[in-house]
Amino acid sequence: MSYIRYSYEQLKTFCCDAFEKFGFTKDEAESITDVLLLSDVYGIESHGMQRLVRYHKGIEKGLIKVDAKPEIVFETTVSAVIDGHDGMGQLISIEAMKTAIKKAKKSGMAVVSVRNSNHFGIAGYYAKMACDEGLVGFAMTNSEAIMVPTYSRLAMLGSNPIAISMPAEPYPFFFDSSTTVVTRGKLEIYNKLSKPLPDGWALDENGKPCTDASRVLKNIVGKNGGGIVPLGSDTELLGGHKGYGYGMLCEIFCSIFSGGLTSNHTHIGGKGGTCHGFMAIDPAVFGDAEGMKERFSVFLQELRDAPKAEGAERIYTHGEKEILASADRMKNGIDVNINTVAEMKDLCEYLNMDSVKYLGDVDFSAAKQSSYK
Amino acid sequence: MSYIRYSYEQLKTFCCDAFEKFGFTKDEAESITDVLLLSDVYGIESHGMQRLVRYHKGIEKGLIKVDAKPEIVFETTVSAVIDGHDGMGQLISIEAMKTAIKKAKKSGMAVVSVRNSNHFGIAGYYAKMACDEGLVGFAMTNSEAIMVPTYSRLAMLGSNPIAISMPAEPYPFFFDSSTTVVTRGKLEIYNKLSKPLPDGWALDENGKPCTDASRVLKNIVGKNGGGIVPLGSDTELLGGHKGYGYGMLCEIFCSIFSGGLTSNHTHIGGKGGTCHGFMAIDPAVFGDAEGMKERFSVFLQELRDAPKAEGAERIYTHGEKEILASADRMKNGIDVNINTVAEMKDLCEYLNMDSVKYLGDVDFSAAKQSSYK
């Protein structure tokens, strides 16, 4: 697989200009870009530039309404329900988390649940927003159904990620993960790389183990059965019902609290309907927040310093890899795989942007057919 | 393995009388019994009668102080920190969840974090308390370190269960599971049954896969290394870092919010120090609670009615198995394995209770050596 390296600023310019061309304001385009690029900077390749094509398709099909503004339809001092009116997921979610943070700062904690939104990028971005303000942040989203519940053969829940971030030194705790074994984005990457999936990730339309990424992805879109396995495997022996349970936790905070669509009803008949859930907790409601941060930092260091497994080089705490990747990529640039660059070039053509100006004079001979064609 | 069947009332009488003999009041003994027996009634054999010996040892060693009363040391309208003063985990936790429920009913939601407690039985009991009051309930606990974090070879986190319960018809959502692949209680049962552990559950003192329950349990107590694998396996490929992450979520709500001991520091040098976390959310803070319950019930039914995997008989939603087990056991009695009955007999002798009166005239020839001897 060949990669092209771009600086953060290059990708930011491309991305901001593209979203402005789609009709978003400059501020909006910058907000969306900030979410997408944090993913690439953190090394979560599945949720950054490589997702552009899906946002484009969403806007083109009318699933994502560029002019929509989120509306608070119910609220208390500790909660809000927001109707996203089918707007851009990132913009709705930034507003929702800002609301949760504001309420948590005043009332100690708050939950904001969102309906009628769209894909919001990485959940961790919003958990981090709260953490950056000294709070404990939680962010979740449902999605098009891809998780096959234990003993079923039809995807009924989304990848349903849960992200949690909490202040600590020298870097915060930052946990962001799907409640499936892996995300759909990971399957998309394996598909782009034409690599077979590892065992234990996915099921075919009959509910049997399957390592063909293309087949699984097509089945998900076609709602033909099969999909991705819950965290813990497709059996109870190794705890698959637990991943399914965390998927349900996500669904409760997103679709159930908000009165929106559960994953199995989103993305049907020209409707999106993605739902999100956000929570912020001020650590000061438990006493001395600074002391808590210090104790938490000590615990994280104890974990990193614990005896390593034979052959292991390092024990990570959650978020450490992202911090390391970020330091490297901001300095040395971000590698974007050639197929994703091909999609970015096609997007330039679609939006009448000069692709050579934004992306350079790239040799695309190593690229697979673009997802656009 | 041979089992002896007892009625709920028989076990309740035995258990209440035993805890009164330990020095608890009648009310306290009944509360403790109620928690323990819900576990047996729900079919969670690992956390009911078979745990009596550990409570006994805890009281004998002074880890559990019979006379201790929980104390609120910090609180706001949405939170409390409780110091359990090394009392009985069930009694502290019932008070803590009552506090969370009271605050949530007034303020919309609340988190109560507890330090210096002891093993509290099944987390689900306390989540159910909130659910029985129409709220969404969450309960967590840390424990003696048994979970080996990804790339480590030393247990640093507890089984760290997370329980969630939410009202629904015809039965509530009730999710209660360790963030390890399995609980220590499951290993204790395999040990009692002299059965090898399934692959993928545990690691030996060198961090290598191990199916010898006795060896793993001894290593946990001796803090010799090894332990139980996080949900998702001991590698990142199948998401072991995610189980480790949920274990951290539990730790944040329990030891970090409360200022208590993290799992790796509990049960060292004659100190217990278990911490718990509880949260209650009133669904009315998102609007019409009854409508929400109806919509949630429809979703749960859709999950149960989804197409089944080949060879699967039934798709469960979380808590359904427990409801079915409960109906059966309250009517037909509860099977207690002969080794646990042997421990109950030894407890009778220790407490000067007439074992034949409580347990019947049992033939113990099929029992292994009791854990007491």
pLDDT digits (tens, 9 = 90+) for A298-309: 999 999 999 999
Residue B240 tokens, joined: 């072991």
| Residue A192 CB-density burial (10 A; 0-12 exposed, 13-18 middle, 19+ buried) | buried
pLDDT digits (tens, 9 = 90+) for A103-114: 999 999 999 999
What pLDDT score does B64 carry? 97
For residue B373, is pLDDT > 50? no
Nearest to B82 by CA among B125, B120, B39: B120
Is A243 in Cβ contact with B231 (below 8 Å)? yes
Q: Where along chain B do the CATH 3.30.1370.60 domains lie?
A: 67-181+229-319
- Out of A207, A242, A306, the one facing B177 most closely (by C-beta) is A242
Residue A317: pLDDT band with limits 50, 70, 90: very high
- Out of A148, A150, A237, the one facing B198 most closely (by C-beta) is A237
Q: Which amino acid is at A63?
A: L
Give me the architecture of the B67-181+229-319 domain, per CATH. 2-Layer Sandwich (3.30)
B161 vs B174: CA distance, rounded Å: 13
A171 near A326, Cβ under 8 Å? Answer: no
pLDDT digits (tens, 9 = 90+) for B222-245: 999 999 999 999 989 999 999 999
- Out of A173, A252, A316, the one facing B166 most closely (by C-beta) is A252
- Chain A residue numbers touching B108 (CB-CB < 8 A): 76-79
A127 vs B233: CA distance, rounded Å: 26
pLDDT digits (tens, 9 = 90+) for B119-177: 999 999 999 999 999 999 999 999 999 999 999 999 999 999 999 999 999 999 999 99
- Out of B74, B242, B246, the one facing A286 most closely (by C-beta) is B74
Nearest to A266 by CA among A54, A63, A85: A63
Is A81 in Cβ contact with B312 (below 8 Å)? no
**H-state helical runs in chain A:** 8-21, 26-41, 52-61, 89-107, 124-132, 184-192, 213-222, 240-251, 257-258, 289-304, 320-332, 338-350, 355-359
Residue A318: pLDDT band with limits 50, 70, 90: very high
CATH classification for the domain delimited by A71-181+229-286, as one of 3.30.1370.60, 3.30.300.30, 3.50.50.60, 3.30.420.40: 3.30.1370.60
pLDDT digits (tens, 9 = 90+) for A98-150: 999 999 999 999 999 999 999 999 999 999 999 999 999 999 999 999 999 99
Q: Where along chain B do the CATH 1.10.1530.10 domains lie?
A: 4-12+14-61+333-359
DSSP state letter for A256: I
**H-state helical runs in A268-311:** 289-304
Residue B255: pLDDT band with limits 50, 70, 90: very high
Number of residues that this document lists for chain B:
373
What pLDDT score does A269 carry? 85
Report yes or no for ipTM above 0.90: yes
What pLDDT score does B192 carry? 80
B335 vs B246: CA distance, rounded Å: 33
pLDDT digits (tens, 9 = 90+) for B205-225: 989 999 999 999 999 999 999
Residues A171-180 have a mean pLDDT of: 97
Residue A50: pLDDT band with limits 50, 70, 90: confident
Write out the H or E segment, with its range, that includes residue A111: strand A109-117
A302 vs A150: CA distance, rounded Å: 36
Q: Where along chain A do the CATH 3.30.1370.60 domains lie?
A: 71-181+229-286
Q: Where along chain B do the CATH 3.30.60.50 domains lie?
A: 183-228
DSSP string, A122-175: -THHHHHHHHHTTSEEEEEE--SS-B--TTBSB--B----EEEEE--SSS-EEE
What pLDDT score does A369 carry? 58
What pLDDT score does A47 carry? 86
Q: Which amino acid is at B154?
A: L
B239 near A230, Cβ under 8 Å? Answer: no
Nearest to A314 by CA among A324, A328, A327: A324
A253 vs A259: CA distance, rounded Å: 10
For residue A373, is pLDDT > 50? no
pLDDT digits (tens, 9 = 90+) for A257-299: 999 999 999 999 888 999 999 999 999 999 999 999 999 999 9
Q: State the smallest CA–CA distance between residue B48 and chain A in angstroms.
A: 21
Residue of chain A whose alpha carbon sits nearest to that of B197? A237
The better pLDDT of the pair A366, B204 is held by: B204
Is B231 in Cβ contact with A233 (below 8 Å)? no
* CA distances in angstroms from A264 to A268, A275, A304, B70, listed in the order given: 9, 12, 39, 44
For residue B318, is pLDDT > 50? yes
Homologous superfamily, domain B183-228: Hypothetical oxidoreductase yiak; domain 3 (3.30.60.50)
Nearest to B82 by CA among B225, B233, B311, B259: B259
User: Which of B103, B152, B253 is the mutation pick for testing A, counting most A CBs within 10 A?
Assistant: B152
Q: Where along chain A do the CATH 1.10.1530.10 domains lie?
A: 3-61+333-366
CATH classification for the domain delimited by A3-61+333-366, as one of 1.10.10.10, 1.10.1530.10, 3.30.420.130, 3.30.420.40: 1.10.1530.10
Residue A1: pLDDT band with limits 50, 70, 90: low
| Residue A305 CB-density burial (10 A; 0-12 exposed, 13-18 middle, 19+ buried) | exposed
**What 3-state DSSP class applies to B107?**
helix
What pLDDT score does A136 carry? 98
The residues in A 308-367 lying below 8 A from B, measured between CB atoms, are: 308-310, 312-318
User: Which of A299, A301, A310, A315 is the mutation pick for testing B, counting most B CBs within 10 A?
Assistant: A299
Is B309 in Cβ contact with A153 (below 8 Å)? yes
Residue B147: Cβ within 10 Å count: 30
Omega before A149 within 30 of 0, i.e. cis: no
A16 near A311, Cβ under 8 Å? Answer: no
Which CATH code fits B4-12+14-61+333-359?
Answer: 1.10.1530.10
